[in-house]
Structure 1
């Protein structure tokens, strides 16, 4: 049986990932994932307080704090890796 991680890595387009996540997740789960990713991007910019992020996004300060903890303190590095990949891909597109 193939792992979820391997399956996601093998999907070759944004459209195929979106279709897979739509089938895999409930609308609430999809919304939660989307919110966490948006919060991670806002936190990475380091321009807004938790309250400002809450006001801008509607995401609870508890969730914002959780994302911040994983972004800055936890050893997994998933948010950091994804943020760096997005930045690197944007730089490649410019050249």
Structure 2
């Protein structure tokens, strides 16, 4: 994978636009499987499975024991959940709405 010090905002915006326009989770999954390596998909999936557990207040140790995700990754996700760009919170809201309501820990 290429390592750069900055993200090309235009390219990222184009990628986000395509993701937003895909029709349904199956199309998104197919796109991600074509776009990402298996290791990248695993990293993305690991991070996402940690998010709801952190939002529920599960300890890092318990999350690690349940998921096998490293404590370092859990800490990184926690930092972004609390002080990142808001993407994790937005995704949790979408997940919650799909499940029929907003959990108390997301109401702010």
What is the distance in 1 between the residues matched to 2:99 and 2:65?
A: 28
- Whether 1:36 and 2:47 are equivalent positions in the alignment is yes
Number of corresponding residues: 90
By how many angstroms is 1:73 displaced?
1.7
- Whether 1:66 and 2:76 are equivalent positions in the alignment is yes
By how many angstroms is 1:86 displaced?
1.1
- Identify the residue that residue 82 of structure 1 maps to in structure 2: 91
Computed over aligned residues only, the root mean square deviation of the Cα atoms, in angstroms, reads 1.5
Which TM-score applies when normalising by structure 2? 0.79
Q: Which runs of 4+ in 1 moved over 4 A?
A: none
By how many angstroms is 1:89 displaced?
2.1
Task: Specify which structure has the higher proportion of helix.
Answer: 1
SS in 2 for 1:62: helix
- Identify the residue that residue 51 of structure 1 maps to in structure 2: 61
Unaligned runs of 5+ in 1: none
Which TM-score applies when normalising by structure 1? 0.89
